[in-house]
Copies of this chain bind each other. A is one copy, B any other.
Amino acid sequence: MASEFDLIARYFTRSAPAGLLGVGDDCALFPAPAGEQIATSTDLLLEGRHFFPDVDPRSLGHKSLAVNLSDLAAMGARPIGCVLGLALPRLDEPWLAAFADGFHALAAVHGCPLIGGDTTRSAHDLAISVTVFGAVPAELALRRDGARADDDIWVSGELGAADVAYRLLDGQYPADPQRLAATRRALEWPEPQVALGMALRGVARSAIDISDGLLQDLGHILAASRVGAALDYASLPVATALDGMPEDQRLRAILGGGDVYQLCFTAPAARRDEVSRAALAAGARVTRIGRATAQPGLTVLDARGRPMDALPRGYDHFPAA
Contacts and interface: CB of A to CB of B under 8 A. Distances in A.
Interface of A: 1-7, 21, 24-44, 46-50, 70-72, 74-75, 77, 83-87, 91, 115-125, 127, 129, 131, 133-136, 138, 141, 143-145, 207-209, 224, 316-321
A320 B5 CA distance: 10
Contact of A125 (B37, B117, B122, B136): B122
A31 B138 CA distance: 8
Given A27-B74, A42-B116, A318 B1 contact: yes
Contacts of A46: 87, 120, 122-123, 127
A136 B29 CA distance: 9
A317 B123 contact: no
A319 B3 contact: yes
Contacts of A83: 40-42, 131
A39 B24 contact: no
Count of chain copies: 2
Given A87-B44, A317-B119, A321-B1, A208 B26 contact: yes
Contact of A318 (B32, B85, B121, B320): B121
Contacts of A321: 1
A119 to B, nearest CB: 7
Nearest to A124: B124
A32 to B, nearest CB: 4
Given A4-B316, A116-B41, A123-B46, A36 B26 contact: no
Nearest to A119: B317
Contact of A44 (B2, B4, B120, B138): B120
A265 to B, nearest CB: 11
**Chain B CB within 10 Å — which of A39, A86, A319 has the most?**
A39
A207 B26 CA distance: 9
A124 B125 contact: yes
A127 B29 contact: no
Question: Nearest 8 CB-CB pairs, A to B?
Answer: A44-B85, A129-B129, A32-B32, A26-B74, A27-B39, A131-B131, A1-B321, A124-B124
A232 to B, nearest CB: 25
Contacts of A145: 25
A229 to B, nearest CB: 18
A124 to B, nearest CB: 4
22 contacts: A1-B318, A3-B319, A21-B143, A26-B71, A26-B144, A27-B39, A27-B40, A28-B40, A29-B37, A30-B37, A34-B34, A34-B35, A40-B83, A43-B85, A46-B127, A48-B123, A49-B121, A119-B317, A124-B125, A127-B129, A131-B131, A133-B133
